[in-house]
């Protein structure tokens, strides 16, 4: 029984942390908002050089072949630096889907190496999602039609962008025609793949929210340590301290839930869906609290466009509703906990 990360895992996370701090300063995020695609193509190339797009692509296809446990570390860094959705959707969710295709499938052989190199963007339209993130800039779309899995070239679809309050989000309506030539798997064969795609999407959303919480805390601690009222930094007042301490408690107890969910995914635990839902709810709750408390301790500044808090706040809000909303995840937990043969109580956690 060991709940710690390896030195390599910790080092990789730290390396990505410094990389994003350098390559994606907050001004760059705001600048990206002004661009047509909402994010800069040069950044994608540099991220690819770091190997991030190939993180879970098997080594045979030019990737690093790492697991969901590595992703749980990485998604927190993506969240901390407010990276847009296409990175995780392509490199984690789509790669996971392609990897899960029957062995030797041509689609995997064609796309996995391209993704690993950093050239390709893949958008995933899960059956539970009406709008598809970043569909307008995708080279390939993995879409559902009556539960089937389809693969469609970006050039073969029409997309209608829905402006979001989070300017790095690109939720698109996708218009396309399903046919025998686009169908990859029938509904029965696709069902387990869709289920795990949702699990990966939800886990990645939870991980990113955790990263956003850590960033919101850092931003809020820095602000309240500088801003003075009544001749003192406002962070020395207990009411202000307690807001942020409460966020820290929530975050501290969502982390292990998140990490366990990743481990359950990596090991193919039959109960992984419940663990992922638990993680999504725990991180989502903490995310809402971090956002609300962050605004409160920023005072009037918290309600402005200028303050960087807004970047992370908005991403935490939208990701909480993405990849299965709260109702979905609560019901999944309920189905487990309230079932007649549920294993509950002392000593049942890892069984």
Partner 1 sequence: MELKYTPEQEAFRQEVRAWMKANVPKEPLQDFDTEEGFKQHRAWEAKLNEGGWGMVTWPRELGGRGCNLIEWLIFEEEYWGAGAPLRVNQNGIFLLGPTLMEYGTEEQKKRFLPRMASCADMWAQAWSEPGAGSDMAAIRTKAVRQGDHYVINGQKTWSTRARWADWAFGIFRTDPDSERHHGLSYILLPLNLPGITIRPIRQLNGLAGFAEIFFDDVKVPVENLLGTEGGGWNVAMATAGFERGLMLRSPARYQETARRLVQLYLANREEADRDPSIREAVLKAWMDAEAYTLSTYRTASKLVNGAKIGPESSTNKIFWSELDIQMHDTAMRILGPRAELLPEAPDAGDVGTWLDGFLFSQAGTIYAGSNEIQRNIIAERMLGMPR
Q: Which residues bind partner 1 (CB under 8 A)?
A: 1-5, 69, 217, 221, 224-225, 232-233, 235-236, 238, 240-242, 244-246, 248-249, 252-257, 259-260, 263-264, 267, 278, 281-282, 330, 333-334, 337-338, 342, 344-350
Between 61 and 312, name the residue whose CB sits nearer to partner 1. Answer: 312
For 193, list phi and psi in degrees, rounded to 5.
-70, -40
Between 30 and 227, name the residue whose CB sits nearer to partner 1. Answer: 227
Between 103 and 346, name the residue whose CB sits nearer to partner 1. Answer: 346
User: 3-34: b or e for each residue (b if 16 or more CB lie within 10 Å)?
Assistant: eebeeebeebbeebbebbeebbeeeebeebee
**Shortest distance in whole angstroms from residue 257 CB to partner 1:** 5
**Shortest distance in whole angstroms from residue 238 CB to partner 1:** 7
Q: Please state, in angstroms and rounded to a whole number, the distance separating the CA atoms of residues 205 and 192.
A: 20
Between 101 and 281, name the residue whose CB sits nearer to partner 1. Answer: 281
**Shortest distance in whole angstroms from residue 111 CB to partner 1:** 29
| Cα radius of gyration (the chain) | 20
Q: Please state, in angstroms and rounded to a whole number, the distance separating the CA atoms of residues 36 and 293.
A: 33
Q: Tell me the C-alpha to C-alpha distance, in Å, between residue 264 and each of 100, 138, 148, 188, 276.
A: 16, 30, 26, 23, 8
Number of Cβ atoms within 10 Å of the Cβ of 222: 12
For 230, list phi and psi in degrees, rounded to 5.
55, 30
Strands 122-125 and 140-145: parallel
Between 198 and 261, name the residue whose CB sits nearer to partner 1. Answer: 261
Between 7 and 27, name the residue whose CB sits nearer to partner 1. Answer: 7
* Burial class of residue 110, CB neighbours in 10 A (0-12, 13-18, 19+): middle
**Shortest distance in whole angstroms from residue 275 CB to partner 1:** 9
**Shortest distance in whole angstroms from residue 265 CB to partner 1:** 12
Between 135 and 251, name the residue whose CB sits nearer to partner 1. Answer: 251
Q: Please state, in angstroms and rounded to a whole number, the distance separating the CA atoms of residues 160 and 137.
A: 12
What contacts 24+ positions apart, CB below 8 Å, involve 263-272? 263/68, 263/69, 265/68, 265/196, 265/199, 265/200, 265/203, 266/67, 266/68, 266/69, 271/336, 272/199
Between 255 and 315, name the residue whose CB sits nearer to partner 1. Answer: 255
**Shortest distance in whole angstroms from residue 57 CB to partner 1:** 21
* Burial class of residue 169, CB neighbours in 10 A (0-12, 13-18, 19+): buried
Between 47 and 286, name the residue whose CB sits nearer to partner 1. Answer: 286
**Shortest distance in whole angstroms from residue 249 CB to partner 1:** 5
**Shortest distance in whole angstroms from residue 245 CB to partner 1:** 4
**Shortest distance in whole angstroms from residue 76 CB to partner 1:** 15
């Amino acid at each position: 029984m060991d709940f710690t990360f390896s030195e390599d895992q910790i080092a990789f996370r730290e390396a990505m942390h410094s990389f994003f701090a350098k390559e994606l300063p907050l001004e760059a995020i705001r600048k990206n908002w002004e661009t047509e695609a909402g994010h800069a193509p040069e950044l994608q190339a540099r991220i690819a050089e770091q190997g991030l797009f190939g993180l879970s692509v098997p080594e045979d296809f030019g990737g690093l072949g790492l697991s969901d446990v590595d992703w749980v570390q990485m998604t927190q860094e993506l969240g901390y630096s407010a990276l847009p959705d296409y990175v995780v959707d392509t490199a984690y969710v789509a790669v996971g889907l392609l990897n899960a295709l029957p062995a030797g499938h041509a689609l995997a052989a064609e796309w996995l190496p391209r993704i690993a190199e950093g050239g390709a963007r893949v958008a995933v339209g899960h059956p539970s999602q009406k709008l598809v993130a970043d569909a307008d800039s995708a080279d390939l779309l993995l879409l559902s039609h009556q539960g089937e899995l389809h693969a469609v070239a970006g050039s073969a679809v029409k997309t209608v962008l829905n402006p979001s309050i989070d300017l790095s989000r690109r939720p698109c309506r996708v218009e396309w025609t399903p046919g025998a030539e686009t169908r990859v798997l029938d509904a029965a064969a696709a069902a387990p793949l869709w289920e795990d795609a949702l699990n990966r999407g939800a886990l990645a959303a939870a991980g990113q929210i955790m990263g956003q919480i850590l960033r919101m805390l850092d931003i809020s601690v820095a602000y309240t340590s500088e801003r003075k009222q009544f001749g003192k930094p406002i962070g020395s007042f207990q009411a202000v301290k307690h807001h942020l301490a409460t966020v820290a408690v929530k975050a501290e107890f969502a982390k292990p839930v998140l990490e366990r969910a990743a481990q359950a995914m990596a090991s193919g635990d039959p109960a992984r869906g419940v663990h992922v839902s638990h993680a999504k709810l725990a991180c989502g709750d903490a995310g809402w609290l971090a956002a609300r408390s962050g605004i409160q301790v920023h005072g009037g500044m918290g309600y402005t466009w200028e303050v960087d808090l807004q970047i992370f706040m908005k991403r935490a809000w939208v990701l909480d509703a993405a990849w299965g909303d709260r109702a979905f995840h609560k019901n999944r937990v309920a189905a487990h906990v309230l079932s007649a043969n549920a294993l509950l109580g002392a000593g049942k956690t890892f069984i």
